[in-house]
Structure 1
Amino acid sequence: MSAGSNLRSEDQFLCSICLDLFTDPVSTPCGHNFCKTCINQHWDSTSSCQCPICKKLLETRPLMEVNTFIKEMVAQFRHEAQQKARSSSEQQAARPGEVPCDFCSGPRLKALKSCLVCLASYCQTHLEPHLTSSRLKRHQLVDPVENLEDRMCLKHDQPLQLFCQTDQTCVCSLCPVLDHKAHEFVLLREEYEGKKAELRNTEAEVQQMIQERRLKIQDLRESVKISEDAADREKAEGLQVFSDLMDSVERNKKRFMKEIEDKQKTIKKQAEGFIKHLEQEISELMKRSSEVKQLSRSEDHLHLLQSCRNLKAAPPTKNWTEVRVHPPSYEGTVMRAVVQLEQNLMEKMKELFELELKRVQKFEVDLTLDPKTANPYLILSEDGKQVHCGDVRKRLPVYQERFSYIYQERFSYSVSVFGTQSFSSGRFYFEVQVKGKTHWTLGVARESINRKRSLTASPQNGFWTVRLRNGNEYKALAGPSVHLSLQSGPEKVGVFVDYEEGLVSFYDVDAAALIYSFTGCCFSQQLYPIFSPHDNDKGDNSAPLIICPVSQMFPLKLHE
């Protein structure tokens, strides 16, 4: 058997208990091999006699004898391995930066291991005693390290074998007696294992943080991709809209130009007809003029008189005195073209608003009114979806939560109520029926607004609302208020909020028209939907505000 084949089958010479080459190998009745000392110590520590490999239970503990064949095979394997190691190590002299063997007398070979007990580094040849000697095999071998003298106590010239937990430093066996009295000590290996466990935990935490950040990067990239896709779709839709608008403008321009040109062609054709008729008359008259002129030059009395009798009658002519070509009237032509263009644009705008409304309706939230914030004059339905103003101030229970930040007070001055849900991120949408009312206010407000006294509703005071007064006066309470000119009063109002974008928009749901948008808002607190049906106004404003479910009533006319 060659050394190469022996090296390839090294595992068959290892004891499964000490994981080292067999020392005095013995065989169990079940056919497995162990070091004699290892198997005896194993059986000494257990109450039963069982094979460590196959777990076969032996009725009696056998008397173990050294297997000479295996022992000789192990000796041969060790010898050949050493020979091969020596032959290969001859070519492995330590190079700059590598740890040399401390025991080579000639060229110092590259060290394979360092012993933390002997404080020395060994090449393969000089490492042999640490691999074969039972006493030296207990020493701790590590990969080659330099400056082993740094592992000696500078004060006592002893190996650093202990760790002072009080001073968090490595010490020798004399330090606890001489310099570190009453301190807490552990073996270097014990502290090493503890620190290693801490480092493993730290590494696990770091890896977890790395993984979380990689996932966050992936999430951000996916968000960017989604945003890019949405931007591409929006650009495509926008370009299509503007293309349609440009086509509409071009069609109206061509229609306008054609109307002008058609009128001009009509006038030109009429004038050309008159001119042709006049030219025909001129031709006939010129012939007669030539005949008359020629006859008038005759000096023969008889011939002239006879010729005059035979002279043709004057050709019939038209009285052209009142004949005129009247330029066409172009007044209103441009205006009619612009009106037609406006109608086309309005149709396109309606399509766009229908599309926008359909999109924001996807963010519908199921709202209910919060009785804990309602003004005492307000009457809420049992399902929390309707509110109107009564004529009598109710005695209401005192809620424990009103002492908290959110429920600091119910509305005592403004005839208003909050929704129970609040929002501090994302987008949300809800619809409110305002049919039959002459006064109302709708929108969102900051949670911290003072509900005990009168406040001017404006973004500066934490309100983003739209209101109706006297049945036809619509205003956006933007501070200062913005008068809104609506073609018809909405019967159902949609409210859309994009917290991150700082956007609050109001829609006439039935007309699919935008009422008003607050843009560039800076939200820093939770937002609550706010509803104010206002006073009963002797029954004229008795209709309730009703939170309605969204009904998808508009077909999608543009590509989403």
Structure 2
Amino acid sequence: FDLETSNMATIIHVPSEDQFLCSICLDVFTDPVTTSCGHNFCKKCITAHWDNSDQYLCPMCKMVFNPRPELHVNTFISEMVEQFRQNSRQEVNSSSSELRAAKAGEVPCDVCTASKLKALKSCLVCLTSYCDAHLQPHLTVSGLSRHQLIDPVENLEDRMCREHNKALELLYKSDRTCVCMICTVLDHKNHNIVPLKEEYERVRAELRRTGIQEIQRSVELSVEVYTALMESVQRSLNQFKEKIQEKQRTTEKQAEDVIKELEQEICELEKRSTEFGLENGMESSVTLLERIFDVVFYYLIGFQTFQENAFSSALFRQWEELVQLQTVRQFMTNFCIFENC
């Protein structure tokens, strides 16, 4: 019993609209009745259906009843339908208040007393702004339908001519004064007159064009600044490349001079060793070897000092290896001569 009661409560609290629709009028049940076959209808709908039929049958399953059934309102379904209607009204009211309530910056309805709804129109005759519900008389009543309605605005009094109590709809372009139709007839007849709305659209379009032009000019200036910056960077880069190339040429020239001096010194040693002869034997070989090492060491130390002042350490390493290879090769040649290799 408890389980059935719980299930029944769930059905009651979560109703679906399809459960309460009459299959004849397709609307929510009114005085619902239940036939013996288990289908539900509005009492008026099923009664009218049987009154216009030769047979008393169910519109849903076509079950025939004979004699004509006596119908009674199903109180249980009737209570459920009433609860459904109340819930639906509460949801609609809550949804309407949430969706249409005037927000900050929006014009509220002047007639609403509790929650101020968003105004849809403002009346220049009544000087009042109306929401959808309160606007209906202006749409249906003949006397009010002649009132001039505009998009909702605040401070309607400021849009009315204080002298003639008419809407300010025109503009004198010469002195930029807003006037009503009566003002144009009685007062400034020689002024250049334009509709206020037309002038508003013209000024707005002009401001839009001006804004676009300012944006375009800003983009052009940005491009000019960027171009000038890139040119400056390119000039600096070219100058830097020239300095690097000049430094490299100077370094190469200095390295070549060092190599030439080293080669000349080695040649001089070779010449001396040839003149000296082989009579001193191994002692002469050792002496010559020491002399060659002294020369190589001297130039390597000098070349290292040169490298510290040079621009490229990698270039120094290449030249250093070249000098060492040439020196060792020459030394081995001389050594073989002295040793009769």
Bigger helix share: 2
Bigger strand share: 1
Same fold (TM over 0.5): no
Higher RCO by CA contacts (8 Å cutoff, separation 6 or greater): 1
Normalising by structure 2, we get a TM-score of: 0.43
Normalising by structure 1, we get a TM-score of: 0.28
